[in-house]
Structure 1
Amino acid sequence: MKKDIAGRPDIELLVNTFYEKIAADQQLGYIFNDVAKVNWQRHLPVMYDFWENIILFTGSYQGNPMNLHQHLHHIAPLDASHFEQWNKLFIATVNELFKGKNAELAKQKALSISAIIKEKISFSRRDNERSY
């Protein structure tokens, strides 16, 4: 029987499992591995803090994910299909590992954050196109 996300070890399991899927994904893996050249030893602890704060309200994350995604978007344009695949993998990972109130919160927050980043990137691109 699956349990709910209850602490840092659960967050680490979720993040590690999710990013293993991302790194191996045909659509998204190249963005992380080849374009961004993610240093996983540094990135994963930041993601633990981010998701621990989002799900368990720990205040452990300090950063601005929007700036990073906008920068990445200028290097390798992200489109709706990238966000859809990210959402699909995240939701599948949560469903595979957990069940409960915090698991549902994680999925809701992931979809919300993804939508906000996608929208801001979209507006950023339109603003840049108008300035030429």
Structure 2
Amino acid sequence: MKNDIQNREDLYLIVSEFYKKLLNDAEMHHFFSEIVANDSLEEHLQVLVDFWDNILFYSNTYHKNAMQPHLEKNEEFPFERKHFQKWLDFFKQTVDENFEGENAHVIKNRATSIATVMEIKVSQIREQKEKNN
């Protein structure tokens, strides 16, 4: 039996293993090329740990707008449905490989909600741009 997610160290394990999958995937790695080129992956992982720590444990560690950088990245590299699905599949797979329990269940559900909202927002922006052109 695997342990449940209990702390920031567990969250760091999830995000670091998750990013290994993303960075090694031909359809996903280009979204992160700037982070890698700037040698800021570790800093980015810590921001993600803050984000998930806040989401899962209500730690008040994340104070940024999570949507904005994704909307900006979408301008450079448009997100498609397959990207959201792959992101979600990799995330859930990483959680399942390492943890089980209530917090593991909650973080996967929250990830699904976040991916869904982000995909809807990106689609709305795309539709609005098409309408204006």
Both proteins in one fold, TM over 0.5: yes
Moved >4 Å (runs of 4+): none
Q: Does 1:63 align with 2:64?
A: yes
Which stretch shifts more, 101-110 or 13-22? 13-22
CA distance in 2, matches of 1:108, 1:122: 21
Q: Is 1:20 aligned to residue 48 of structure 2?
A: no
Matched, 1:125 2:115: no
1:30 aligns with 2:51: no
Q: Give TM-score, length-normalised by structure 2.
A: 0.93
* CA deviation map 1:54-110 (0-9, x unaligned): 111111101112111111111111100000100110010000000000000000000
Counterpart for residue 40 of structure 1:
41
Structure 1 position 32, deviation (Å): 1.0
SS state of the match for residue 26, structure 2?
coil
Deviation for aligned residue 1:41 = 2.2
Q: What is the distance in 2 between the residues matched to 1:97 and 1:10? A: 9
Give structure 1 stretches of 5+ with no counterpart: none
Partner residue, 2:7? 7
Percent identity for Structure 1 against Structure 2: 35
CA distance in 2, matches of 1:48, 1:94: 14
SS at match of 1:41: helix
**What code does the residue aligned with 2:118 have?**
I
Q: Compute the RMSD of aligned alpha carbons.
A: 0.9
Q: For residues 5-64 of structure 1, what are the alpha-carbon distances to aligned partners after superposition, in whole Å with 9 as ceiling and x for unaligned?
A: 01111111111111111111121112212xxx1120221110010011111111110111
Structure 2 residue identity aligned to 1:22: L
Number of residue pairs the alignment of both structures matches: 129
3-state SS of 1:60 partner: coil
The residue number in structure 2 matching 1:114 is 115
